[in-house]
Structure 1
């Protein structure tokens, strides 16, 4: 939050959920090295230790409402699961506290529930907090517009513990492709998830492929092919710290804003 013109800016205080998970730990580690953000408290459903690797005490998730009231953070950063995320955002919205949601895998009902909470407090949900991914989406939109009729294939690769497939980022890419085609008067065919047996390509279809292996942080590739040429657009994240820094950027940007539904693109464009 910004103080008066003659005062030093105050760090935005954040509550971190899923604190002992890989992304929760990454957020805590990133926050410890920043001057514009501080950790108010951290919770986890099953705290494995009394404090995180970055030295922040980890409280039981069952204490979340009490901790919100006691610490009154500026924002909550959530990388957990759809069910728990809905509960955290609901509690934060009731208290008028902003939420930054990096959790993926929501069904339509879950997405609607989050949007309803945005009527009471700012909610920023993104499938990916990498600034490079925003650049990728912009490049995809431009390429699809410039290459009408070209075949499109989207491939994503993640570590072997990731639950949802395709990834939330891949779904955002697919929506970008479909929107760009629609804007140019071109219809998209079905999304085809993998192929097996006889599977001739239908006009306008978009191939979708999800790979899970090892400890790969995240890779997304968009292939456009036609007219005896191909274009490949790729984003590769080599460390989860990329997403943690983006989530903290989002929290700093979101804190104190009016209730509403926001996206990470708003943060990136606002900083441009």
Structure 2
């Protein structure tokens, strides 16, 4: 399988490129600042992506894996759709317009979008959903921590967790981002707290509290390799699928419907 990796010189993109090569796939690493090699493959300029995708499509099984920034990601997904190449998207921080662009691409090719490719995070999403259903009146707080270079806040994973909480309760929770001064908690709130420091790969905690008890559910990633492995798992799974919208839960058997 030929795997085109955009953002190959980034933190996670580089890990994905190395994982692709280690699994014996044909790696095509792409960057806006191409210089040298990664995982034994020459870096290719981003402006050549449409031609690279056409070439990859002609070779047979091919997948684009994207870990970049929202504006670039939407552009790359459009090129993938035009070339007929499936796409795995790990970029986060999309606004509604960017998400719509991804959805549009899914009309032409299979697109798998995830805020986090760690298998443990998928398990956390499942457990959070169950806890929110079982503890409908408990107060909820969410804290996430990432390295000091992360751009979007809250993280994409945090927003996905918040969406799961909303889906599990009758009424959407009022998201309160930090607190300052006199700010007593109101019913129906979920506190959202963001920390950026050092080289933390990613940590998410959801806390439920009431009835003289506290339930804390936490996931901690200790290496970006877990995200890379999951993204390549997704790429291998996505190749050959029908056009449509997929999620990481589909890959690891969460029971999601294909191509919804």
State the TM-score bracket (shorter-chain normalisation). over 0.9
What is residue 69 of structure 2 aligned with on the other side?
81
What is residue 9 of structure 1 aligned with on the other side?
none
Partner SS, residue 206 of structure 1: strand
Q: Which runs of 5+ in 2 are unaligned?
A: 256-260
Residue 267, structure 1, aligned to residue 251, structure 2: yes
What is residue 112 of structure 2 aligned with on the other side?
124
> Is contact 1:165-1:210 (8 Å) kept?
yes
1:54-96 deviation per Cα after TM superposition (whole angstroms, max 9, x unaligned): 2211011011111112232511000000011011111111111
Partner SS, residue 125 of structure 2: helix
> Is contact 2:17-2:27 (8 Å) kept?
no
In the alignment, the residues of structure 2 paired with residue 189 and residue 103 of structure 1 have an alpha-carbon distance, to the nearest angstrom, of 25
What is residue 207 of structure 1 aligned with on the other side?
191
In the alignment, the residues of structure 2 paired with residue 216 and residue 39 of structure 1 have an alpha-carbon distance, to the nearest angstrom, of 31
What is residue 51 of structure 2 aligned with on the other side?
66
What is residue 57 of structure 1 aligned with on the other side?
42
Residue 100, structure 1, aligned to residue 88, structure 2: yes
In the alignment, the residues of structure 2 paired with residue 71 and residue 162 of structure 1 have an alpha-carbon distance, to the nearest angstrom, of 31
Partner SS, residue 41 of structure 2: coil
Alpha-carbon RMSD across the aligned residues, in angstroms, is 1.4
What is residue 18 of structure 1 aligned with on the other side?
7
Match of 1:111 among 90, 99, 110: 99
What is residue 167 of structure 1 aligned with on the other side?
155
Partner SS, residue 137 of structure 1: helix
What is residue 135 of structure 1 aligned with on the other side?
123
> Is contact 2:89-2:112 (8 Å) kept?
yes
What is residue 8 of structure 1 aligned with on the other side?
none
> Is contact 1:190-1:206 (8 Å) kept?
yes
> Is contact 1:152-1:207 (8 Å) kept?
yes
Partner SS, residue 195 of structure 1: coil
> Is contact 2:111-2:244 (8 Å) kept?
yes
In the alignment, the residues of structure 2 paired with residue 169 and residue 39 of structure 1 have an alpha-carbon distance, to the nearest angstrom, of 29
Q: How many residues matched?
A: 253
Match of 2:29 among 38, 42, 48: 42
Runs of 4+ in 1 over 6 A off after TM superposition: none
> Is contact 1:188-1:206 (8 Å) kept?
no
In the alignment, the residues of structure 2 paired with residue 132 and residue 270 of structure 1 have an alpha-carbon distance, to the nearest angstrom, of 12
Cα drift, residue 46 of structure 1: 1.0
In the alignment, the residues of structure 1 paired with residue 129 and residue 250 of structure 2 have an alpha-carbon distance, to the nearest angstrom, of 17
TM-score of the pair, normalised by structure 2: 0.94
What is residue 3 of structure 1 aligned with on the other side?
none
What is residue 258 of structure 2 aligned with on the other side?
none
> Is contact 1:159-1:216 (8 Å) kept?
yes
1:157-181 deviation per Cα after TM superposition (whole angstroms, max 9, x unaligned): 0000000000000000000011011
Q: Which runs of 5+ in 1 are unaligned?
A: 1-11
Cα drift, residue 22 of structure 1: 1.0
